[in-house]
């Protein structure tokens, strides 16, 4: 942003919050082109990688709490991208499954997410990107 005051630009935590919000908004704006929001994209990505899984297990992987997960899966199911199937051994739970349409949308979503990331990080060298990624990974898993 133009016009950020030096007294704030000196705070790493402030910058982190600011840049994080910018990243989220840019991702969301791109993903909206295929009808996904940030959380739908995350859930769909993990579901594709993991196969059938319960809502709450998926939520733990993506960082979405159980009650917020309901709305996320509702939206994905309404769009035909995910199915709630009966869980084979626990009648309380659902076995979530990505549909063929879900895989197709996810493929588009991946491209859009890659575009958004490229826009965001275009000023950084490959080395800077690598360092940033490693550092963020430490902070995220702490």
Partner DNA sequence: TATTGTTATACTCTATAACTATA
Partner DNA sequence: TATAGTTATAGAGTATAACAATA
Tokens 């909206």 found at: 32
CB of 22 or CB of 103, closer to DNA: 22
Angle at which helix 100-121 crosses helix 38-50, to 10 degrees, equals 120
What are the residues facing 98 on neighbouring strands? 82
The single residue among 36, 40, 45, 81 that binds its own copies, judged by CB under 8 A, is 45
Question: Can residue 18 be called a binding residue for its own copies (CB under 8 A)?
Answer: yes
93 binds DNA (CB under 7 A): yes
The answer to whether residue 54 forms part of the interface with DNA (CB under 7 A) is yes
Distance CA 40, CA 106 (A): 10
Query: Does residue 19 touch its own copies according to CB under 8 A?
Result: yes
Do the beta carbons of residue 111 and residue 95 sit within 8 Å?
Answer: no
Q: Contact positions toward DNA, by CB under 7 A?
A: 21, 24-25, 28, 37-39, 54-57, 64-71, 73-74, 84, 87, 89-94
């Amino acid at each position: 942003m133009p016009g950020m005051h030096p007294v704030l630009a000196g705070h790493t935590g402030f910058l982190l919050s600011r840049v994080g919000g910018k990243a989220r908004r840019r991702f969301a704006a791109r993903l909206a082109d295929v009808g996904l929001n940030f959380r739908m994209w995350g859930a769909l990505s993990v579901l594709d990688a993991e196969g059938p899984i319960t809502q709450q297990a998926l939520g733990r992987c993506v960082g979405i709490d159980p009650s917020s997960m309901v709305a996320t899966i509702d939206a994905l199911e309404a769009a035909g991208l995910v199915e709630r199937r009966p869980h084979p051994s626990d009648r309380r739970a659902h076995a979530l499954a990505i549909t063929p349409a879900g895989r197709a949308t996810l493929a588009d979503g991946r491209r859009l997410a890659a575009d958004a990331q490229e826009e965001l990080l275009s000023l950084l060298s490959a080395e800077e990107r690598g360092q940033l990624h490693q550092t963020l990974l430490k902070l995220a898993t702490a």
